[in-house]
C-alpha cells in the first residue's frame, strides 16, 4: 500500500468516518505560515493548526531550544522527580497569569486540563466537608473538550456530544450570554445565572466558562461585563469559578488572557493549545494557595491525578521558548493589526445574502453562515485558492499565526471572501 491508501484504510481523523468522502491532504513540510503539501502546493495556514501555532512553523529559536533539551533528556517521570524545564515554565506561568493563581498542575491536553480542573473543584469541597457540592454550571454553546467530564459541561443539545447524553453526568446549563463583546451585560443573562446559583449553590462546585470567546461551540464573543458579574455572583453564592483559557490564552483576543478583558481572576484556570506554540502537546491547570491547601489538608491528603507524561521536559522547554518569544515581541500591536485587517477585509461578507453575521475580536475573524457549509466542496475550493481554512458547521473563520504578514493575511481574507461569494451564486 502507498501512504494515501494506508491513511484512507487505517487512520481515523478527527470527527470523521473511516469511509469519509472528505479529502485529506498530506503535508510534506511547514515553514512560517505555509504548509507544503506532498504534491508541491503551498497553503497559507489560516487555522494556526487548530489555534496553537502562534509563531508559525519551524521557528529557529524554538527548534534550537528543543534540540538542546533533547540532548539532555526527552522525558522523565514526574512522580518523585522534577527538572529544570518544568521549574522554569512554572515560574513563567505564575508570573504572567492573574493573581492569585500560583499552583500549577501539568497534563497532556486541554480536555485533560478541564478534567483536572473539575476534580480540583470537587476535591476542594470535600476538603471543606461539603461533599454535596459536586455539580457544575456551564453555558449553552460551550465546548470544553472530548473526554467524559469535559463533554458533560459542553452543550448537551447543539454540541458535538449529544450522542453521549444518556451516559454523561447531568450538569446545570444556562443560556449563552446574549450581549455581545463591547456591550453592557443584559440583565436577563445575569438574572438567570443568579437564579441558578441561588437555587443550586449548595450542590454546585463551580461555574465553568470559556472567557469572552466561546470557541468550538459557536465562536460567540460575549460581554466582558457578564464575566465580571459572574465572578461576583460566584463569590456571593460560594461557588468556584473555572475559566477555560485553552483557546483564548496567550494573546489571541488582544489580552494575554481573555479574563483580563473583565479585570477578574478565576479560582481555577486551564491553558493549553498555544502554550507550547503548537510544538508539543501540553496543558496546565492553575489554582490558588487556598484551594491547594484545602486539598492537602483533606482526605486523602493529595490531589488524585497523575498523567504518565506529566510535565514532559521537551514540551515544557517548548512552552518556555514560546512564552519568551511572545513576550519579547510586540505581540499586542501585531494582534491589533490583524484585528484591523480582519475587520476591514471581512466587512464585505455582511452584504452576502447567505451570511448571518460577521464578528471580529483580536486575531479571530468569524463569518457565520445561515446554513451549514459543505465541508468537502468548500475545503477543496480553499485549497485550490492556496489557503488552508477549515470551517465547521455554519462557521467559516480565520485564526492565523501572529507572525503572518499583511500580504499573507490579505491573501487569506480574499480567498475566504471569494469562495463565500461564489457559494451564493
Catalytic residue among 15, 95, 132, 198: 15
Based on the residue annotation, tell me whether 143 is a catalytic residue of this protein.
yes
Nearest to 87 by CA among 322, 319, 328: 319
Question: Based on the number of CB atoms within 10 Å of its own CB, is 203 exposed (0-12), middle (13-18) or buried (19 or more)?
Answer: middle
CA distance 141 to 220: 9
CA distances from 302 to 16, 103, 258, 350 (A): 39, 14, 31, 54
244 catalytic residue (yes or no) = yes
* Whole-angstrom distance, CA of residue 46 vs CA of residue 29: 16
Residue 75, classed as helix, strand or coil, is: coil
The whole-angstrom separation of Cα 281 and Cα 12 is 19
Count CB atoms within 10 A of the CB of residue 75. Answer: 13
Q: Is 291 exposed, middle or buried (0-12, 13-18, 19+ CB in 10 A)?
A: buried
Angle at 154 between CA 90 and CA 184, to 5 degrees: 85
Q: What's the burial of 86, exposed, middle or buried (CB within 10 Å: 0-12/13-18/19+)?
A: buried
User: What gap in Å lies between CA 386 and CA 232, rounded to an integer?
Assistant: 47
Residue 60 is placed in which grid cell?
529557529
Catalytically annotated residue among 155, 225, 244, 267: 244
Please report, for residues 121, 123, 208, 419, the alpha-carbon distance to residue 269 in angstroms, rounded to integers and kept in the order given. Answer: 11, 16, 10, 38
C-alpha cell read off for 362: 483580536
**Among the options 133, 135, 231, 273, which is catalytic?**
273
Which residue of the set 106, 124, 143, 222 is catalytic? 143
Respond yes or no: is residue 402 known to be catalytic: no
305: its cell numbers: 491525578
Pairing of strands 42-45, 101-107: unpaired
CA pair distance 196, 209, nearest whole angstrom = 15
Which run of H or E residues covers position 64?
helix 60-70
Per the listing, cell 473583565 goes with 262
Classified as helix, coil or strand, 146 is: coil
- Catalytic residue numbers read 15, 143, 244, 273
Amino acid at each position: 500500500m502507498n501512504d494515501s491508501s494506508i491513511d484512507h484504510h487505517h487512520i481515523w481523523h478527527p470527527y470523521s468516518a473511516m469511509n469519509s468522502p472528505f479529502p485529506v491532504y498530506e503535508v510534506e513540510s511547514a515553514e512560517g505560515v505555509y504548509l507544503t503539501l506532498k504534491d508541491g502546493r503551498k497553503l497559507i495556514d489560516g487555522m494556526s493548526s487548530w489555534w496553537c501555532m502562534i509563531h508559525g512553523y519551524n521557528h529557529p529559536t524554538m527548534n534550537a531550544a528543543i534540540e538542546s533539551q533533547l540532548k539532555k533528556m526527552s522525558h522523565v517521570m514526574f512522580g518523585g522527580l522534577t527538572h529544570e524545564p518544568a521549574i522554569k515554565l512554572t515560574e513563567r506561568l505564575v508570573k504572567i497569569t492573574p493573581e492569585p493563581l500560583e499552583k500549577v498542575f501539568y497534563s497532556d491536553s486541554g480536555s485533560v486540563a478541564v478534567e483536572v480542573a473539575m476534580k480540583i473543584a470537587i476535591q476542594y469541597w470535600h476538603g471543606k466537608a461539603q461533599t454535596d457540592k459536586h455539580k457544575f454550571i456551564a453555558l449553552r454553546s460551550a465546548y470544553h473538550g472530548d473526554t467524559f467530564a469535559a463533554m458533560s459541561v459542553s452543550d448537551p443539545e447543539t454540541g458535538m456530544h449529544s450522542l453521549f447524553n444518556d451516559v454523561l453526568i447531568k450538569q446545570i446549563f444556562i443560556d449563552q450570554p446574549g450581549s455581545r463583546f463591547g456591550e453592557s451585560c443584559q440583565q436577563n443573562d445575569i438574572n438567570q445565572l443568579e437564579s441558578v446559583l441561588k437555587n443550586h449553590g449548595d450542590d454546585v462546585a463551580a461555574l465553568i466558562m470559556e472567557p469572552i470567546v466561546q470557541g468550538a461551540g459557536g465562536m460567540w464573543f460575549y460581554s466582558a461585563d457578564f464575566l465580571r458579574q459572574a465572578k461576583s455572583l460566584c463569590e456571593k453564592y460560594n461557588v468556584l469559578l473555572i475559566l477555560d483559557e485553552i483557546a483564548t490564552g496567550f494573546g489571541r483576543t488582544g489580552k494575554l488572557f481573555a479574563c483580563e478583558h473583565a479585570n477578574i481572576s478565576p479560582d481555577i484556570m486551564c491553558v493549553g493549545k498555544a502554550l507550547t506554540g503548537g510544538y508539543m502537546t501540553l496543558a496546565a491547570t492553575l489554582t490558588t494557595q487556598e484551594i491547594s491547601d484545602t486539598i492537602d489538608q483533606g482526605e486523602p491528603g493529595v490531589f488524585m491525578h497523575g498523567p504518565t507524561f506529566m510535565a514532559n521536559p521537551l514540551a515544557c522547554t517548548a512552552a518556555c521558548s514560546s512564552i519568551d518569544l511572545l513576550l519579547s515581541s510586540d505581540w499586542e500591536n501585531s494582534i491589533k493589526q490583524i484585528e484591523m485587517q480582519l475587520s476591514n477585509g471581512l466587512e464585505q461578507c455582511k452584504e452576502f445574502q447567505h451570511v448571518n453575521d460577521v464578528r471580529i475580536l483580536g486575531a479571530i475573524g468569524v463569518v457565520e453562515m445561515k446554513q451549514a457549509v459543505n465541508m468537502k466542496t468548500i475545503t477543496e475550493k480553499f485549497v485550490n485558492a492556496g489557503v488552508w481554512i477549515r470551517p465547521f458547521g455554519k462557521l467559516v473563520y480565520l485564526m492565523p499565526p501572529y507572525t503572518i504578514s499583511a500580504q499573507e493575511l490579505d491573501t487569506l481574507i480574499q480567498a475566504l471572501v471569494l469562495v463565500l461569494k461564489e457559494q451564493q451564486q
